[in-house]
Structure 1
């Protein structure tokens, strides 16, 4: 049964949902995507927690879901690395000692940053739709989302998850990635410090990235890396190919983190 709490970090309120069944068991920490939230994970975290017999923790990042609105009006280039620092504070406040990260898109990049900067309590790192450098495919996907924002009811559909924070959330996402100053963003050197095993899911039809992201990770991470290119799948393997993602994640966790 998931419990809801709010934790203060750096003067901001962070909404979390968790099911800590045993302090001695690993906790899978879920890190959502650029427009994501706790609610948008749906039942995937609970399903994964049940089949792995692990604790589960989700949270809304600043400006998302039920957490505090953005305290800034423009993101720095290293905003994803700063997100890993927030995760570190959250994990420390909750006194989690055995952590498995499961990150999607922006959350996947934050997971890699965390695994590289704070390796001491990471058992495994799982990512889907991850980015470690800027691809033209990513930018084109964001341009298309921007057009949809202007021509459809996308704002209305997303606002049920973020309320009055929605417009700023879109602004932060689009203006950051489409800013020319962001074009050279690259974390290949950062991830060389990762020590935990890494599992990667990449949708063959991902509208925001390609297998080049996976190849860069495999070229730079020195620990065990397992990857799956999933056919008939876009940017959201945990939704579009849920059973496959659950099965392979369960196998990975049991082999490398339990």
Structure 2
């Protein structure tokens, strides 16, 4: 699919938008803290084919083929701000009905978007998202930072992010490892999620416990389902794509036929 750069209030974002299915919602894919459009690989196309839905995949500012971030420094509410950017991007593309599929940071951004812009969101699939900070998360980020320092992770990421790698790694690790982020919590937003939610998590997720799932599904106002996959870590859609595609497809079909 051919991508293009879209200017969203001065933020130049790389997007891939397929709207070949008329009168169908658009599944919006929201990547993780070191992710990109490319790193989704063929997962979005397969889910689109299974559900006959349109797709929008984009690189957040600083990632992939989007323009660089102006600074690596972030405030505690950086994911709330990303939800606002997504809303502006949807307005720019005149998309008014979406199903959100977010992984990790993208999962959190999906939950925030569903809570702040419920009129646009038909349903949300949150994969390994966070609603508060846990010790396991801090350990996971520390381990990732160590891997960045001591392995070829930087070179592998350059394939997708070019010379922006150091900026995104610093942006992610510094805020999550800071003392001020210890108080970060978005549980207060969950009651505003009125559309159906599917929360997918690997039982062995190295960045979060099942408390993230339980406390999310118990506090949203809409119908909520959870799908916990044994022997899977933080990236279910890569570790067991067939199972995640099947469960996500079932959930979306139920939404479309309700």
TM-score bracket, shorter-length normalisation: over 0.9
Which residues of 2 match residues 18-29 of structure 1 at below 5 A? 18-29=17-28
Contact 1:124 1:257 in 2 (8 A): no
Match of 1:9 in 2: 8
* Pair 96,23 (structure 1): closer, same or farther in 2 beyond 3 Å: farther
Residue of structure 2 in register with 1:147 after alignment: 146
Aligned to 1:68: 67
| CA positional deviation for 1:5 | 1.3
Q: Corresponding residue for 2:36?
A: 37
Who is 2:196 aligned against? 197
Structure 1's unaligned 5+ residue stretches are none
Normalised to the residue count of structure 1, the TM-score between the two structures is 0.98
2:56 alignment counterpart: 57
TM-score by length of 2: 0.98
8 A Cα contact 2:124 2:195, kept in partner? yes
Which deviations, in whole Å up to 9, do the C-alpha atoms of 1:140-188 show, x marking residues without a partner?
0011111111111111111110000000110000001000000010000
Aligned runs of 1:1-258 on 2, under 5 Å? 2-258=1-257
Aligned length: 257
Judge conservation of contact 2:105–2:130 (CA < 8 Å) in 1.
yes
Asked whether the equivalents of residues 119 and 194 of structure 1 are also in contact (C-alpha less than 8 Å), the reply is yes
Give the gaps of 5 or more residues in structure 2. none
Mapped partners of 1:200, 1:236: distance in 2:
13
Shift of 1:219: 2.2
Q: Secondary structure at the match of 2:82?
A: helix
Offset of 1:192 from its aligned partner? Answer: 1.1
- CA distance in 2 between counterparts of 1:73 and 1:80 reads 14
1:220 deviates by 1.1
Shift of 1:195: 0.8
Are the equivalent residues in 2 in contact too, given 1:123–1:257 (CA < 8 A)? Answer: no
